[in-house]
Chain A
Amino acid sequence: MILEPFQYFSPLSLDEAFEILTEHHGEAKIIAGGQSLIPLMKMGVEMPCIVDIKKIHELKTIELSNDGSGKVSSVRVGALATYNEIERSVPVRRNIPLLAKTASGIGHPLVRNRGTIGGSLSHCDPAADLCATALALDAQICITGPGMKTRVLSARDFFKGPLETDLHNDEILTSVFFPVSNMKMGYDVQKLTLGHGDFPVFIVSVSLHYDGVKFTNAAIALGGVGETAVRASECESLMRGKESITGEDIREVSRLITDRYDPPVSAELSPDYTREMLSVYTGKALRNAVQMVTG
């Protein structure tokens, strides 16, 4: 039950939304799928003014976007695309399969039907599934402000801290660009949860690119081990440029990750177990990703 009354706005266009945001400067909170905000309100966090952007249809589109030469360079995912829509989207499945896989594993079907990518990234929970994967995929976040002023920044620069992003309170995250690669891709996402469908304790998102000879790119993003999702750059460099990634390499990387990152403490699992699982899940994700590339 939400005990405190709040103002509710449901703009039909971005212009209208910016007007409301400007008018309630600092007070207004944007809601999309409500999968984080509504539970918070039920827990008693007061939100005096809610701006529901669900009816701004232009934010729902998922489409391929081309570079100058007409080659597909990225997939643009509108902020209001739900996890379910992302999971089913053909352009996403074909070009950014790690994103589709991540979306398909979030929570339960009920959550996936409502939760949106824009909501998840701008809520910026350090362990959120999509934050880790956006980071692993070098996503570019597109932000629009009053007067339709648009700026684009990398996921890495967008995430500032727990529940804190670079978004100003009169701006809206409007879409996310995921660069498309024509390399062979290996990827996986693995997470530790306390129960099936629960929010991750931590999450490991892995993306590998292989040009037929060597691994041209290796991205490992971790969620839940710090203030925001992070890239394990020091581990990535151990793999990047290699012709093959062996079981020993994977064990080495997993060990390194457990040494360097602290998984969170939970009431139900011991720190030792959680730490060991960080290594186990990293190993699983890497093994699966490598297997996809090398067969």
Chain B
Amino acid sequence: MEAVMERQREKPHVSEPRIDARERAMGLAKYTADWQVKDMLYARIFTSTVPHGFVKGIDSSEAAKTPGFVDIVSCLDDSTVWQAGEREHERRVFADHVRFVGDCIGAVTATTRIAARKAASLVGVQYEELPASFTIESTLGNSQLKIWDNGNFLGPLKFEYGDSEEEFSKSQVVLERHYSTSRLHNVPLEPAISIAWWDGDNLTVVAATQSVHGCRNGIAKDLGLEPEKVRVIGYYKGGGFGNKINSMNYDLIAAICSRRTGKPVMVEYSREDEFINVHGRWSTDQDLRMAADRAGKINAVEVKAKCDIGAYTRHIKRGHFIEGPEHYYSTEAWNAEIYGVYTNTPATGHMRAPPGPQSAFSVESMVDELAHELGIDPVDMRLKNFIRNPPSGRFTSNGFEECIIKGAEEFGWKQRWKRPEKQRNKSGIATGVGVAIGSWHSGLGHGEAIVSVDSSGTLEVNTGVVDIGTGAKTTMALIASGEVGIPYADTRVIWGDTETSPYSVGESGSRTTGFTGTAVREASRQLKADLLLIGEKLHGISSSKLEIKEGNLIRSGNGSVLSSVRELMQASGNGRITKSVTTEPTLKEGEERFVFAAHFAEVAVDLETGEVKLTDYLAYHDSGEIVNRLTAESQVQGGIVMGIGMALTEKLLISKTDGSIENPSLLLYRIPNMTQIPKIKVFFTDTVDPYGPKSLGEIPIIPVTAAIGNAIFNATGVRLRNLPFSREELLGELKDRK
């Protein structure tokens, strides 16, 4: 291991701007909304105005009078099921049984965006209303309620190991606390959009999707087509964070409206539609118990959680609405019981590490509470308990300890942390620091890639990635460039089209680098081997004594340049050498692969108003080998900014009277802005994982809320247990203590 570490450190850190930075910055990148398709029509959805009921009739007479009106489709004449739209039940694209205010009933197609919008607003719908519920309590307490015929909740998911009864009874310290987190929205910069057109039985969809292949497969399944009949194109994205995952209902709506009208159709959501009709993060109510001994060893954790999952929940594994912290600490026992509870409110589903930050918030706040109770430094508390290996098995690599120790060093924890009661300021501004840790999955799986070099010596990487903002295209180019030895500047990428690119898992679950990247690496190795053999023939030197660096064939040892790759290619007589590779890496028996992080925050609290300002933030991550520092740091910073929103500003306000979203706009749903974000310092460990780079996209959001909450406690002595933290609650608590 030591030798490997040394070699790793010798390798210079790569830090390149995105391969498409120029076209993005210059406005040349063509997003879905920029597509101008000949004869294109515009579809606009119309939605339920009641929280729960059956659609009994639709009056389109007024809508049809709108100049530009072309067609109307609704639940009365189309019963397509959107299978990816709900995990456990059947969800129709156009609902006849509407389950929330905003549930999609149908769509109007017209010649202009404005005509479509006007016509859709004139559609009249008659309902038979049903009892509805807008909270977890009312769903569980109402036997008349039938959001779904076979029950209004999912679970319990039980997850346990060890003898938790025993551990709780013998432990010296037991804490019990309640924590809650709010409903959130992903808020990608680019709202949902899709364009579809038919050529006979062949469907083309230009989709704002996180996965062109996932999108294609979903559409094909739902419309009863062979996947080969569906082409999905997705070149540039304005983010998704989980809510553009695979096929979305708006893709199906575009396809259905196009089939009916015979013209290309664009479905474009407004920001308001995006908030209401595309899923966000579920809320949680969590009761935690934690048992420890006086020395600070955590013996057992018990989590009982109920989550408001809205009227529909996307493909979240049954019951896994709380997940993650069982992989932070080595406890003797863990006992979780989790329910997902349906309500007549908009859908929930994937959002960056779907259950991660909710789960980390409660556990990481509670570990901090425990540390305080025991008089232990919160960093020491983590060092005493962090997980070294899973309960049964071992991690492929584990840089957790390094994240905590080095993170604390870089942050200056020892100098900055003081017991809350020692905080000097009793009025004015109080400052404090907090720490939280986290871990997340780092999967391995099916990858495909085509890597080639042409006669000019240009390297070409062809994968089915879409690059939702993760920098996936850049990552793939850097992996290939680094492996083959051809400069990044001479590397081009083909991506984002099911017709031209091989399968990729899509940008979700932090999988692209691990899955598709592995295939790119393997294809690149094979390509390099071929080039070396050509070199062997050309120069009469054994390929084992040759290397390719900076686009040149060189002799190992003395480094003399023998010829350029371009000359090699011309000598070989090949116009292009192509390697098409499929990889299927699997973990060995007992192995688990995880990423780890430790986060440190400093806050300043105005003791007169309760306002919290985040003044410093540092993140230390183990994601194995980092392919590109620049985009990796951006990923971490982006995740932390989303976490800051979750901690301090963001909350979907759900109406108590009809379950609708009261703040479906960026004016009222507050994502953090630059003045609320301190400089975020990002560090990575030099961990080497035998399977290559580990995951990164999701973990940065996980520890943030607790790190901030713990800093607020450190500054004020007030423990806030509900997200987002409220200045009003903080001020109230401060006054109560006086």
The answer, yes or no, to whether A270 is at the interface (CB within 8 Å) is: yes
Query: Among B112-120, B180-188, B369-377, B538-546, which stretch is in contact with chain A?
Result: B112-120
Known: A273-B731, A280-B609, A284-B608. Is A3-B673 also a contact (CB below 8 A)? no
Whether B118 pairs with A196 at a CB distance below 8 angstroms is: no
The answer, yes or no, to whether B676 is at the interface (CB within 8 Å) is: yes
Whether B270 pairs with A1 at a CB distance below 8 angstroms is: yes
Residues of chain A contacted by B675 (CB below 8 angstroms): 196-197
The answer, yes or no, to whether B566 is at the interface (CB within 8 Å) is: no
The answer, yes or no, to whether B680 is at the interface (CB within 8 Å) is: no
Residues of chain B contacted by A267 (CB below 8 angstroms): 653, 662
Residues of chain B contacted by A277 (CB below 8 angstroms): 609
Whether B117 pairs with A3 at a CB distance below 8 angstroms is: yes
Known: A195-B649, A280-B608. Is A270-B117 also a contact (CB below 8 A)? no
Task: Determine the distance from Cα of A77 to Cα of B118 in the docked complex, in whole angstroms.
Answer: 42
Whether A108 pairs with B608 at a CB distance below 8 angstroms is: no
Task: Determine the distance from Cα of A68 to Cα of B144 in the docked complex, in whole angstroms.
Answer: 82
The answer, yes or no, to whether A269 is at the interface (CB within 8 Å) is: yes
Task: Determine the distance from Cα of A280 to Cα of B728 in the docked complex, in whole angstroms.
Answer: 13
Task: Determine the distance from Cα of A8 to Cα of B731 in the docked complex, in whole angstroms.
Answer: 50
The answer, yes or no, to whether A194 is at the interface (CB within 8 Å) is: yes
- Render B651-669 as a binary contact track against A, CB cut-off 8 A, 1 for contact: 0010000000010000100
Residues of chain B contacted by A284 (CB below 8 angstroms): 608
Task: Determine the distance from Cα of A267 to Cα of B663 in the docked complex, in whole angstroms.
Answer: 10
Measured CB to CB, the closest approach of chain A to B582, in angstroms, equals: 46
Task: Determine the distance from Cα of A280 to Cα of B670 in the docked complex, in whole angstroms.
Answer: 24
Residues of chain A contacted by B670 (CB below 8 angstroms): 194-195, 198
Residues of chain A contacted by B673 (CB below 8 angstroms): 108, 196-197
User: In chain B, what residue has the closest Cβ to A270?
Assistant: B728
Whether B113 pairs with A196 at a CB distance below 8 angstroms is: no
Whether B117 pairs with A1 at a CB distance below 8 angstroms is: yes
- Secondary structure dominating the interface of A: loop
User: In chain B, what residue has the closest Cβ to A277?
Assistant: B609
Residues of chain A contacted by B731 (CB below 8 angstroms): 273, 276
Whether A3 pairs with B114 at a CB distance below 8 angstroms is: yes
Task: Determine the distance from Cα of A1 to Cα of B731 in the docked complex, in whole angstroms.
Answer: 40
- Render B250-282 as a binary contact track against A, CB cut-off 8 A, 1 for contact: 000000000000000000001000000000000
Please classify how large the interface on chain A is, using the bins under 10, 10 to 19, 20 to 34, 35 or more: 10 to 19
Q: Which of B571-619 contact A (CB under 8 A)?
A: 608-609
Residues of chain A contacted by B117 (CB below 8 angstroms): 1, 3
Whether B728 pairs with A196 at a CB distance below 8 angstroms is: no
Task: Determine the distance from Cα of A277 to Cα of B609 in the docked complex, in whole angstroms.
Answer: 7
Residues of chain A contacted by B118 (CB below 8 angstroms): 3
Residues of chain A contacted by B608 (CB below 8 angstroms): 280, 283-284
Residues of chain B contacted by A268 (CB below 8 angstroms): 653
Residues of chain B contacted by A270 (CB below 8 angstroms): 728
Our count of residue pairs bridging A and B at CB distance below 8 angstroms stands at 32
Q: Which of B110-168 contact A (CB under 8 A)?
A: 113-114, 117-118
Task: Determine the distance from Cα of A277 to Cα of B270 in the docked complex, in whole angstroms.
Answer: 36
Residues of chain B contacted by A108 (CB below 8 angstroms): 673
Please classify how large the interface on chain B is, using the bins under 10, 10 to 19, 20 to 34, 35 or more: 10 to 19
Residues of chain B contacted by A280 (CB below 8 angstroms): 608-609
Task: Determine the distance from Cα of A280 to Cα of B610 in the docked complex, in whole angstroms.
Answer: 11
Residues of chain B contacted by A276 (CB below 8 angstroms): 731
User: In chain A, what residue has the closest Cβ to B651?
Assistant: A268
Whether A1 pairs with B113 at a CB distance below 8 angstroms is: yes
Q: Which of B74-97 contact A (CB under 8 A)?
A: none
Q: Which of A93-133 contact B (CB under 8 A)?
A: 108
Residues of chain B contacted by A1 (CB below 8 angstroms): 113-114, 117, 270
Measured CB to CB, the closest approach of chain A to B325, in angstroms, equals: 30
Residues of chain A contacted by B653 (CB below 8 angstroms): 267-268
- Render B664-692 as a binary contact track against A, CB cut-off 8 A, 1 for contact: 00010010010110000000000000000
Task: Determine the distance from Cα of A3 to Cα of B120 in the docked complex, in whole angstroms.
Answer: 12
Task: Determine the distance from Cα of A195 to Cα of B649 in the docked complex, in whole angstroms.
Answer: 7
Residues of chain A contacted by B270 (CB below 8 angstroms): 1
Residues of chain B contacted by A194 (CB below 8 angstroms): 670
Q: Which of A3, A273, A283 contacts B728 (CB 8 A)?
A: A273
Known: A196-B675, A197-B673. Is A269-B113 also a contact (CB below 8 A)? no
Q: Which of A1-32 contact B (CB under 8 A)?
A: 1, 3
Task: Determine the distance from Cα of A283 to Cα of B427 in the docked complex, in whole angstroms.
Answer: 14
Measured CB to CB, the closest approach of chain A to B724, in angstroms, equals: 10
Most A C-beta atoms less than 10 A away, residue of B114, B118, B728: B728
Most B C-beta atoms less than 10 A away, residue of A194, A195, A268, A273: A195
User: In chain A, what residue has the closest Cβ to B113?
Assistant: A1
User: In chain A, what residue has the closest Cβ to B731?
Assistant: A273
Q: Which of A23-51 contact B (CB under 8 A)?
A: none
User: In chain B, what residue has the closest Cβ to A272?
Assistant: B728
Measured CB to CB, the closest approach of chain A to B65, in angstroms, equals: 16
Task: Determine the distance from Cα of A179 to Cα of B305 in the docked complex, in whole angstroms.
Answer: 63
Measured CB to CB, the closest approach of chain A to B425, in angstroms, equals: 16
Task: Determine the distance from Cα of A283 to Cα of B428 in the docked complex, in whole angstroms.
Answer: 12
Residues of chain B contacted by A273 (CB below 8 angstroms): 728, 731
Task: Determine the distance from Cα of A197 to Cα of B675 in the docked complex, in whole angstroms.
Answer: 9
Task: Determine the distance from Cα of A281 to Cα of B727 in the docked complex, in whole angstroms.
Answer: 14
Residues of chain A contacted by B676 (CB below 8 angstroms): 196
Task: Determine the distance from Cα of A281 to Cα of B609 in the docked complex, in whole angstroms.
Answer: 9
Task: Determine the distance from Cα of A277 to Cα of B653 in the docked complex, in whole angstroms.
Answer: 23
Task: Determine the distance from Cα of A281 to Cα of B611 in the docked complex, in whole angstroms.
Answer: 12
Measured CB to CB, the closest approach of chain A to B190, in angstroms, equals: 16
User: In chain B, what residue has the closest Cβ to A195?
Assistant: B670
Whether B114 pairs with A269 at a CB distance below 8 angstroms is: no
Residues of chain B contacted by A196 (CB below 8 angstroms): 673, 675-676
Task: Determine the distance from Cα of A102 to Cα of B654 in the docked complex, in whole angstroms.
Answer: 34
Task: Determine the distance from Cα of A194 to Cα of B609 in the docked complex, in whole angstroms.
Answer: 12
User: In chain A, what residue has the closest Cβ to B671?
Assistant: A195
Task: Determine the distance from Cα of A243 to Cα of B607 in the docked complex, in whole angstroms.
Answer: 30
Task: Determine the distance from Cα of A268 to Cα of B118 in the docked complex, in whole angstroms.
Answer: 32
Task: Determine the distance from Cα of A269 to Cα of B728 in the docked complex, in whole angstroms.
Answer: 7
- Render A240-266 as a binary contact track against B, CB cut-off 8 A, 1 for contact: 000000000000000000000000000
Measured CB to CB, the closest approach of chain B to A231, in angstroms, equals: 24
Residues of chain A contacted by B667 (CB below 8 angstroms): 198
Task: Determine the distance from Cα of A215 to Cα of B673 in the docked complex, in whole angstroms.
Answer: 40
Measured CB to CB, the closest approach of chain A to B262, in angstroms, equals: 26
Task: Determine the distance from Cα of A198 to Cα of B670 in the docked complex, in whole angstroms.
Answer: 10
Task: Determine the distance from Cα of A78 to Cα of B676 in the docked complex, in whole angstroms.
Answer: 33
Task: Determine the distance from Cα of A194 to Cα of B726 in the docked complex, in whole angstroms.
Answer: 11
Task: Determine the distance from Cα of A268 to Cα of B726 in the docked complex, in whole angstroms.
Answer: 10
Measured CB to CB, the closest approach of chain A to B668, in angstroms, equals: 8
Measured CB to CB, the closest approach of chain B to A109, in angstroms, equals: 10
User: In chain A, what residue has the closest Cβ to B608?
Assistant: A280
User: In chain B, what residue has the closest Cβ to A194?
Assistant: B670
Residues of chain B contacted by A269 (CB below 8 angstroms): 728
Task: Determine the distance from Cα of A284 to Cα of B609 in the docked complex, in whole angstroms.
Answer: 11
Task: Determine the distance from Cα of A269 to Cα of B118 in the docked complex, in whole angstroms.
Answer: 35
Measured CB to CB, the closest approach of chain A to B269, in angstroms, equals: 12
Measured CB to CB, the closest approach of chain B to A284, in angstroms, equals: 7
Residues of chain A contacted by B649 (CB below 8 angstroms): 195
User: In chain A, what residue has the closest Cβ to B613?
Assistant: A196
User: In chain B, what residue has the closest Cβ to A274?
Assistant: B728
Interchain residue pairs with CB less than 8 A apart (30):
A1-B113, A1-B114, A1-B270, A3-B114, A3-B117, A3-B118, A108-B673, A194-B670, A195-B649, A196-B673, A196-B675, A196-B676, A197-B673, A197-B675, A198-B667, A198-B670, A267-B653, A267-B662, A268-B653, A269-B728, A270-B728, A273-B728, A273-B731, A276-B731, A277-B609, A280-B608, A280-B609, A281-B609, A283-B608, A284-B608
Q: Which residues of A contact B (CB under 8 A)?
A: 1, 3, 108, 194-198, 267-270, 273, 276-277, 280-281, 283-284
Smallest CB-CB A-B distances: 3 pairs: A195-B670, A273-B728, A280-B608
Given contacts A1-B117, A1-B270, A269-B728, 4 further A-B contacts (CB under 8 A): A108-B673, A196-B676, A276-B731, A281-B609
